[in-house]
Amino acid sequence: MKTYFPGNEYHTPPGTSRAMGDYLTLGTRWYFHLNVMGVVWRANRMAGAGEFNDSSWAYISFQILQCIERAGGKCHFTGLDNISKADGPVVFVGNHMSVAETFLMPSIIVPRKPVTFVVKKNLLDYPFFGTILRSRSPIAVGRSDPKNDLKTVMEEGCAKLADGVSVVVFPQSTRMRKFDPSKFNTIGVKLAKKANVPVVPFALRTDFWSTGPILKDLGPIHRSRELRIEFAEPISVSGTGKEAQAAIIDFVKSRLDDWGLGDAKGK
C-alpha cells in the first residue's frame, strides 16, 4: 500500500494554487464541494461493487486532501511517526471539529496501521457516504443510550483490536470548534484499558471546513484557517485511567491553544 505521508510531518507545499474552476465560481465553496462529491461518488461505486479496500480508502482520502489544497486550504500533519511507534493496534483518541478529519485521517493512518472508526449509526444511512462507511466495518453507536453505546464499543472495539485493527474514537458527542473537557468522555481510555493496548492522542483543527446552517456537511470554507492534525506519543493506560485521560485532554488543549483556538467560540 502506498504511504502518502512517509515522513514525520507533512505541510502543503508553498505555492499550491487553486484550480481554475475555483476562480470561475468566484471563490465560492461550491466548486470545492462539487469536487468532494465527485470523489465520494467514485468511492461509492467501488464500495457498492465490493471493490473498496484499505488501499482504496487511503487513496480516496488523499484525493479529498487534494480537493482541499486546490481550494486554497493548507494542511499541516505532525507527529506521524507516533502512529506506528507502538507495536500492534492502538486506540486513537482526540477532538472532533468538522467532517474534514473523517475524510482526511484514513490517508494518514491506514498506510501505517489497519484502522476503523467509532461512528454515529445514522451515518451508515447517508446517501453515497454510508455505503463507503459500511464497507470499512465501523463500530456504530446511537448516541441516545450511553450505557448501550459503551457496551457496543467495548465488545466490538475489543474484537477489532484483537484482530489487529486500531480504533479511532471521538469522545465528544458532536463536532465542536471550542474544546470542552467536560464533554470529552472516557470511552476511548476505557476501551484501551480493557483491550490492554496503548492510546495515541491526537489533536486537530479543521474549521477550514465549517458546519453549514442547513446542510451540515456543505458549510462554508475558510481559507485563512489552516488545517492541522498532530499525533502524540502512545500512552499506556494504568489504574483507573484518570492519568491517561488527563494527558489526552492536556495535549488537545495545549495544541488548540498554540493554534489560536484556546478561546474559540461557537461552531
Transcribe the chain into DSSP letters: ---S--SSEEEPPTT----HHHHHTTT-SHHHHHHHHHHHHHHHHHHHTT---HHHHHHHHHHHHHHHHHTT--EEEE-GGGGTTSSS--EEEE---STHHHHHHHHHHTTTS-EEEEEEGGGGGSTTHHHHHHHT--EEE-SS-HHHHHHHHHHHHHHHHHTT-EEEE--SSS--SS--GGG--SHHHHHHHHHT--EEEEEEE-TTBPPPSSSGGG--B-TTS-EEEEEPPPB---TTSHHHHHHHHHHHHHHHHHTT-TT----
pTM of the model: 0.93
Tell whether the model's pLDDT for residue 3 goes beyond 70. yes
Domain ranges of the chain: 9-258
CATH topology classification for 9-258: Glycerol-3-phosphate (1)-acyltransferase (3.40.1130)
**All cell numbers assigned to 146:** 450511553
Which of 25 and 266 is assigned the larger pLDDT? 25
Nearest to 7 by CA among 75, 56, 80, 93: 80
Per-residue pLDDT at 213 exceeds 70: no
Helices 187-195 and 146-162, packing angle to 10 deg? 40
Q: How confident is the model at residue 187, as a pLDDT? A: 95
Cell digits of residue 247: 494527558
Return d(Cα 145, Cα 149) in angstroms, integer.
6
Band of pLDDT at residue 211, cut at 50, 70 and 90: confident
Kindly report which listed range (113-122, 205-214, 217-226, 230-239) carries the lowest average pLDDT score: 205-214
Three cell numbers written together for 152: 457496543
Share of the chain above pLDDT 70, in %: 93
48-98 tens-digit pLDDT: 999 999 999 999 999 999 999 989 899 999 999 999 999 999 999 999 999
* Of 128, 224, 229, 217, the residue nearest 175 (C-alpha): 217
- Would you give the distance in Å from CA 60 to the centre of its chain? 14
| pLDDT given for residue 101 in this prediction | 96
What are the residues whose beta carbons fall under 8 Å from the beta carbon of 179, sequence distance 6 or more?
95, 252, 253, 256, 261, 264
